[in-house]
Amino acid sequence: MENVKSDPGIRVVDVRTPEEYREGHIPDSLSIPLDNLSLAAKLIPNKDTEIYVYCLSGSRSGAAASMLSRMGYTQVKNIGGIMGYHGALTR
- 55 classed as catalytic: yes
Amino acid making up residue 50: E
Strands (DSSP E) contained in 1-91 are 11-14, 30-31, 50-55, 75-81
Active-site hit among 26, 55, 65, 76:
55
The two beta strands, 50-55 and 30-31, are: unpaired
- Catalytic residue set: 55
